Structure 1
Amino acid sequence: MTDHDRLFKELLSTFFLEFVELFLPDAAAFLERNSLTFLDKELFTDVTSGERYEADLVVRAQFQGEISCFLIHVEHQAQPQKDFGQRMFRYFARLSEQYGLPVYPVVLFSYDSPKQAAAQQHRVEFPGWVVLEFNYRVIQLN
């Protein structure tokens, strides 16, 4: 059986700069092109459920003309998943805490259906008060 997830990650890693230039031109504009460093697999454990999660692709990059860096986190999702935005927020929070760098979160949706716009944010709110609004970039290939 073909490991499509592994092949997809390999393809994305090989052509990462081209991916950013094509789908994230705003990020490409402030990215120092020769500064990309692919980080080792980032594993996270949800202590409440005991489940382990692995971030698909995390790249450290330098801001153009600066010494400061940031992370680009790309998550590939082949099937719709309930509460996916919450998972993206957890990755964001853990990466931010671990590295102390700004994180540019991106999701690449490749599932066939439903053919509708995917959510681009995770919100925590109470009546009359938004506590958190976390946004992530969405690239939808269905």
Structure 2
Amino acid sequence: MEQDGPWKEALEDLFEDFVAFFFPQVHRDIDFTKGYEFLDSELQQIITGSATGKRIVDKLVKVYLVDGSEKWLLIHIEIQGYEQTEFPERMFVYNYRIFDKFQQEVVSLALLTDENPKFRPDQYHRLRWGFELLCRYPLVKVIDYRERWVELETSSQPFAMVVMAFLKTLDTAGNVKERYT
């Protein structure tokens, strides 16, 4: 089932609402009155020819903070129904490659739409001989919103409806009649 497309479209069309809904702590610091810029072509230059397997980064967005500084956000939506051990490494590698190319602070965010409640890879960590590397990023699991259904139903936030539709799709997989009742 194609799940990636609707999320990408919603993120592009409703970026401010996306950040407000899933990452409110990030939203508070962004000055949306100054606008934002999707840097998709720049991102494609960075990820082309990667040696670590299939890599899908959906969005790189340049934003301005309320303190007047410029920041770049890597919005990574991973669409998968299974655990993928390379996910944390991919998050780190993209973050570093973007920083290396643009010399800008990069904040990586992850939204996972898989159905495994135990799969919560929120950091990349390496340690050997006293050398330690840690890349921790905010992670949101869409399935966690199942427990907040009443809140979603009463919300005026557009992503509340997106999440409800997505969860209904997951819950009715293989039963189309139930999906529309």
Fold match (TM-score > 0.5)? yes
TM category (shorter chain) comes to: 0.7 to 0.9
Q: Is the 8 A contact 1:123 1:130 kept in 2?
A: no
Shift of 1:27: 1.2
Q: What is the aligned partner in structure 2 of residue 36 from structure 1?
A: 36
Residue type of the alignment partner of 1:4:
Q
Structure with more of its chain in helix, by fraction: 2
Please list every run of 5 or more consecutive structure 1 residues that lacks an aligned counterpart in the other structure.
none
Residue type of the alignment partner of 2:8:
K
Shift of 1:78: 2.0
Residue-pair matches, total? 136
> Are the structure 2 counterparts of residues 78 and 54 from structure 1 closer, same or farther at C-alpha, using a change threshold of 3 Å?
closer
Q: What is the aligned partner in structure 1 of residue 101 from structure 2?
A: 98
- What secondary structure, in the 3-state scheme, does the structure 2 residue paired with 1:55 have? coil
Hey, what's the Cα distance between the residues in 2 that align with 1:110 and 1:130? 33
Residue type of the alignment partner of 1:28:
H
Report whether the alignment pairs 1:111 with 2:114.
Answer: yes
CA RMSD of aligned residues (A): 1.9
Q: Is the 8 A contact 1:61 1:72 kept in 2?
A: yes
Report whether the alignment pairs 1:57 with 2:59.
Answer: yes
Hey, what's the Cα distance between the residues in 2 that align with 1:54 and 1:86? 13
Runs of 4+ in 1 over 4 A off after TM superposition: none
Q: Is the 8 A contact 2:99 2:106 kept in 1?
A: yes
Q: What is the aligned partner in structure 1 of residue 17 from structure 2?
A: 18
- Counterpart pick for 2:88 among 37, 61, 85: 85
- What secondary structure, in the 3-state scheme, does the structure 1 residue paired with 2:75 have? strand
Q: What is the TM-score of this pair, normalised by structure 1? A: 0.85
Q: What is the aligned partner in structure 1 of residue 7 from structure 2?
A: 8
The CA deviation string for residues 39-95 of structure 1, in whole angstroms up to 9 with x for no partner, is: 12422122x46x5644211110011141x3111111111222112100000100011
Hey, what's the Cα distance between the residues in 2 that align with 1:133 and 1:65? 27
The CA deviation string for residues 90-130 of structure 1, in whole angstroms up to 9 with x for no partner, is: 100011112211111111110112x2250210001026x35
Tell me the percent identity: 21
Hey, what's the Cα distance between the residues in 2 that align with 1:19 and 1:65? 21
Structure with more of its chain in strand, by fraction: 1
Larger Rg: 2
Shift of 1:25: 1.6
